[in-house]
Amino acid sequence: MFDYLIVGAGFAGSVLAERLANGSNKKVLICDKRPHIAGNAYDFYNDAGILIHKYGPHIFHTNSKEVFDYLSNFTDWREYQHRVLACVDGMQLPIPINLDTINKLYGLNLTAFEVEDFFAKIAEPIENIRTSEDVVVSKVGRELYQKFFRNYTRKQWGLDPSELDASVTARVPTRTNRDDRYFTDTYQAMPKYGFTRMFEKILDSPNIKIMLNCDYQEIVREIPFKKMIYTGPVDSFFNYVYGKLPYRSLEFKHETHDMEQFQAAPVVNYPNEQAYTRITEFKYLTGQEHKKTSIVYEFPQAEGDPYYPIPRKENAEIYAKYKALADAREDVHFVGRLATYKYYNMDQIVAQSLTEYSKIIGLKRKEASVYVAPKDKIIIPVSIKQPLNLNVPAPKTNGNGKNVVNNLG
Ligand SMILES: Cc1cc2nc3c(=O)[nH]c(=O)nc-3n(C[C@H](O)[C@H](O)[C@H](O)COP(=O)(O)OP(=O)(O)OC[C@H]3O[C@@H](n4cnc5c(N)ncnc54)[C@H](O)[C@@H]3O)c2cc1C
């Protein structure tokens, strides 16, 4: 009998599987309905031999030393500072808006002090900030709102910013200096050999069995287990008794081009004319060297895989009903973005999972993330570039015939 059936092999399910298996010697079965581990963070080598992210670009960043240290048990890192340009009025300009954005957009030559006055003059004072529109307009004024934010938000959410909670755009960072980093977190790095390789290490324990291509409903009555950890959609678990929780989805269009570099930055946002919101070029993220390059376009849409919970009051009310059902289930722990109907970054999900583990085991939160490799495990240093035998294709060679993995970082 398994101690735990874990539904979903993304960050939430995999971190809990690792902690329970290695930290508490529990027998764990983890299943995922997709044909791979790593959830939305899954990456793989495409036919051209380029490492790409199947479900859109995933960039790791955190301020939590604990989360970073915990994940460092399973991967080496490649330092990476993310940068984004926005295509506005035929120019590619830094976003978040900084000194260079304003100077290039308006053909000015302002200093850091002068741009502070500039922002102060264009900001529209709004007394009661309720919507996303209010948040942006009160910070950068109506013109920049229209050029950079309004249409992007409409595409992304299918709603006008005036219809969306202020929380969607709770903070609009504007910079009076030339800092063009997208994130300012203390730790900004990519797993050196990719996310999937990191997940292979996380799940590499004699106490963990993995079933892929497997919806938990196919096995839940067949395989005995004591408790469940559920990281799938909470409404589906309860057979949609209170209706479907609305999500925004995305269609990803992947392309490979016969050129070394496709665009001037890792991500270029297209707020206005195009149907897609952004284009990502993966080699910037992974540091891979290759004669060709792979990119992905993101087209927001209403139907499809659930990606972004839609943060509106009426949806929060439906979720509150599901949460009451979930809280009443002592035999099931609901963890992760789908089970708690909230958008979380990867590091937040790792933190949430470590907290859940500490509650399950009755440990202090600080002690919960201490990783000790299982006794009978042969420890393979993370720097060894041998693929483990999970459902992940072996690395392919690139156009130069070199092993692609060796070219990362
Ligand atoms: C386009 C996009 C870009 C993102 N970029 C970033 C980024 O740059 N940085 C960042 O920190 N975060 C990013 N995120 C957020 C990140 O994807 C999440 O934080 C992370 O995936 C959450 O992990 P999870 O385990 O909760 O969910 P998931 O990764 O979604 O894992 C849940 C798993 O459960 C499985 N499952 C569901 N139902 C069942 C079932 N019935 N039976 C079996 N299995 C089931 C699913 O197949 C899935 O694999 C991004 C998200 C999106 C959508």
DSSP code at position 397: B
Q: Which residue has the higher pLDDT, 383 or 24?
A: 24
* Beta bridge pairs of residue 79: 189
- In degrees, to the nearest 5, what angle opens at C-alpha 374 toward C-alphas 7 and 353? 35
Q: Give residue 312's pLDDT band: very low, low, confident or very high (50, 70, 90).
A: confident
CA 202 vs. chain centroid, Å, equals 17
- Sort 104 into a burial class: Cβ within 10 Å, 0-12 / 13-18 / 19+: middle
Which of 231, 249, 252, 254 is the pocket-test mutation for ligand 1 (most atoms within 8 Å of CB)? 231
- In degrees, to the nearest 5, what angle opens at C-alpha 213 toward C-alphas 42 and 238? 95
Q: Mean of the pLDDT values across residues 231-240? A: 98
Cα-to-centroid distance, 116 and ligand 1 (Å): 39
Q: Give residue 370's pLDDT band: very low, low, confident or very high (50, 70, 90).
A: confident
The confidence score (pLDDT) of residue 375 equals 61
The confidence score (pLDDT) of residue 400 equals 36
The confidence score (pLDDT) of residue 374 equals 66
Q: What is the mean pLDDT of the chain?
A: 90
8 A C-beta contact, residue 105 and residue 97: no
pTM of the model: 0.90
Q: Mean of the pLDDT values across residues 323-333? A: 97
Instruction: Report percent pLDDT > 90 for the chain.
Output: 83
Instruction: Report percent pLDDT > 70 for the chain.
Output: 91
Cross-sheet strand order for the sheet of 208-211: 208-211, 28-31, 2-7, 225-230, 332-334
68/191 Cα distance (integer angstroms): 11
Q: Give residue 376's pLDDT band: very low, low, confident or very high (50, 70, 90).
A: low
User: 129-187: per-residue pLDDT in tens?
Assistant: 999 999 999 999 999 999 999 999 999 999 899 988 888 777 677 899 999 999 999 99
Q: Is the pLDDT of residue 387 over 50?
A: no
Residue keyed to tokens 């933190």: 351
Q: Give residue 24's pLDDT band: very low, low, confident or very high (50, 70, 90).
A: very high
Closest alpha carbon to 294 in 264, 263, 325: 263
Structure tokens, 101? 């954005």
User: 266-277: per-residue pLDDT in tens?
Assistant: 999 999 999 999
Ligand 1 neighbours by CB, cut-off 6 Å:
7-13, 31-34, 39-41, 55-59, 215-216, 231-232, 250, 307, 336-338, 344-347, 349
The confidence score (pLDDT) of residue 377 equals 56
Residue keyed to tokens 């992760």: 336
CATH class of 2-81+187-244+308-369: alpha beta
Structure tokens, 310? 């839609």
Cα-to-centroid distance, 369 and ligand 1 (Å): 21
Cα-to-centroid distance, 9 and ligand 1 (Å): 9
Cα-to-centroid distance, 17 and ligand 1 (Å): 16
Q: Give residue 16's pLDDT band: very low, low, confident or very high (50, 70, 90).
A: very high
Q: Is the pLDDT of residue 398 over 50?
A: no
Q: Mean of the pLDDT values across residues 191-212? A: 98
Q: Is the pLDDT of residue 401 over 70?
A: no
8 A C-beta contact, residue 36 and residue 42: yes
* Beta bridge pairs of residue 209: 29
310/147 Cα distance (integer angstroms): 23
* Beta bridge pairs of residue 228: 5, 332
267/282 Cα distance (integer angstroms): 9
Q: Is the pLDDT of residue 394 over 60?
A: no
User: 70-112: per-residue pLDDT in tens?
Assistant: 999 999 999 999 999 999 999 999 999 999 999 999 999 999 9
User: 47-78: per-residue pLDDT in tens?
Assistant: 999 999 999 999 999 999 999 999 999 999 99
191/375 Cα distance (integer angstroms): 25
Domain residues of the chain, as ranges? 2-81+187-244+308-369, 84-169
